[in-house]
Homo-oligomer: A and B are copies of this chain.
Amino acid sequence: MKIDNIDSYLREKDVKPSYQRTKIFQYILDNHNHPTVNQIYEALTDKIPTLSKTTVYNTLNLFIEKKLVEIITIEGNEARYDIYNPNDHAHFKCQLCKNLFDIHLDFSKMSLKELEDYKINEQHIHFIGICPECAKKQI
């Protein structure tokens, strides 16, 4: 996604910019590694020493509500966040390096007969296993 001016993008999406909001959005935009709340907080607390986790939570919830950001739930205990991406894609969580990768998938070829009568608002696909990097190291 190409966003040249974060503040005007936020305004476009009906979010009033603030120093914290801009920095949090920028962090998620720059770090496509699907950070947790803690990672965002730890990374920004250097630049914004007064930052509180409450603000990170408040801001992320606002971003989710306004569809700027989406939450990725793979393990129940760690919520991860990413720029909202309505395109078909899946996630791959590596059991060794713990990284979360985006995988581009074509859902359209799945047989969905059984889902005919269901109204799908969201779809989430994720895989768990070993990523290519870690597989190499294991040999």
Contact = CB atoms under 8 A, between A and B. Distances in A.
A3 interface: no
Given A71-B76, A76-B73, A125-B125, A118 B92 contact: yes
Interface in A67-124: 71, 73-79, 92, 95, 103-107, 109-112, 114-115, 117-124
A135 B119 contact: yes
A123 B121 contact: no
A131 B105 contact: no
A57 interface: no
B114 A111 contact: no
Contacts of A135: 117-119
A129 B118 contact: yes
A121 B110 contact: no
A65 to B, nearest CB: 15
A109 B111 CA distance: 7
Given A92-B115, A95-B121, 15 more contacts: A76-B76, A76-B79, A103-B114, A103-B115, A105-B110, A106-B110, A115-B127, A117-B132, A117-B135, A120-B129, A122-B128, A123-B126, A123-B128, A124-B125, A124-B128
